[in-house]
Amino acid sequence: MGIVNVTPDSFSDGGRFATTDTAIAHGRELIAQGADILDIGGESTRPGATRPLVSEELDRVVPVISALAAEGAAVSVDTMRAEVAEAAALAGAVVINDVSGGLADPDILRVAADHDVLYVAMHWRAHSTEMQQHAVYDGPGGVVGAVRDELSARIDDALAAGVDLERLVVDPGLGFAKSPDHNWELLKHLDELVGLGRPRPVAEREHANVALTTIVSLQGMWGVRVHDVRASADAIRVVERFAHDPGEA
């Protein structure tokens, strides 16, 4: 899943692809590098980020989604808002990637069900301005137990809204209300989340992406969201070749 941030303030590439034309061109480049899905976002979720108006988010993502979907790309919309998700689905998006897992705007679950798209529910506790205040996991199961239980509740809500379990993906939310130690603990115990659905961790730091992609590929995860598609795609091909025939990898 290649990332296209149509934002002026994202952590990794804020401002580089903030216009419709540059975002479309970047999406095409990611497809050429081997991306299977393009994740188009119009709201930065970096710590401390200010939310855009709904109209701003719509203006950022819908033209990009429409253009890339018309060219045959599989497109995801990265949004927490039902109104944006609906417009994106009508423009051709086949995935709704909701970092709030339905907590920020519960009506987004209805949108996912109505349009029969793949729905990605991430573990989330608060908006970016308050996120790090919620990085506390004092329960007996620690961060792994808390993420498992809270994601299970998000799945229950999605199913109750009519989302098909086969079209539901869960994401442990690395970096969202998590310390670095929490992130590593989750990576070591991804297998404990598999029973929830099809977990998909998010990797955002480019120097570590290839290593993280290899780790999660070896554990059979559904996908990984990256900026540097070419290197990560190469890592996945090596893992798949090794898994198919270790003697010839």
The predicted structure's pLDDT at residue 14: 55
Please give the backbone phi and psi of residue 45, each rounded to the nearest 5 degrees, phi first.
-115, 20
What is the overall mean pLDDT for the chain? 85
Q: Please check whether residue 1 lies inside any domain of the structure.
A: yes
Q: Whole domain around residue 71: which residue ranges?
A: 1-98
Q: Specify the pLDDT at position 231.
A: 65
Overall residue count recorded for the chain in this entry: 249
pLDDT in tens, 24-63: 999 999 999 989 999 999 998 877 778 999 999 999 999 9
212 lies in some domain: no
Angstrom CA distances, 95 to 68, 86, 136, 164, stand at 14, 11, 30, 13
Q: Please tell me the distance from the alpha carbon of residue 186 to that of residue 191, in angstroms, as a whole number.
A: 9
pLDDT above 80: residue 4: yes
What's the whole-number mean pLDDT along residues 116-136? 92
Query: Which range, 48-62, 179-193, 205-219, has the best average confidence (pLDDT)?
Result: 48-62
Q: What angle do CA 52, 54, 68 make, to 5 degrees?
A: 95
Query: Is residue 43 a part of any domain in this protein?
Result: yes
pLDDT tens track for 101-125: 999 999 999 999 999 999 999 999 9
Is there a domain that residue 114 lies in? no
pLDDT given for residue 201 in this prediction? 46
Please indicate whether residue 196 or residue 227 has the higher confidence score (pLDDT): 196
What is the reported pLDDT for 203? 43
Instruction: Please indicate, yes or no, if residue 73 is contained in any of the structural domains.
Output: yes
**pLDDT band, very low/low/confident/very high, at 1 (cuts 50, 70, 90):** confident
Residue 112 lies in a domain: no
Share of the chain above pLDDT 70, in %: 76
pLDDT at 209 over 60: no
Average pLDDT for 81-92: 99
CATH of the domain at 33: 3.20.20.20
Q: Compute the average pLDDT of residues 71-91.
A: 98
190 Cβ neighbours under 8 A, 6+ residues apart: 172, 199, 201, 216, 219, 221
Q: Residue 139's pLDDT is what?
A: 92
Mean pLDDT of 135-152: 95
Complete edge-to-edge strand list for the sheet that includes strand 168-171: 2-5, 38-41, 75-78, 95-98, 118-122, 168-171
Whether residue 213 is predicted with pLDDT greater than 90 in this model: the reply is: no
Does residue 47 fall inside a structural domain? yes
The domain total for the chain is 1
Instruction: Work out the pLDDT band at 247, boundaries 50, 70, 90.
Output: low
Does residue 21 lie within any of the structural domains? yes
pLDDT at 225: 66
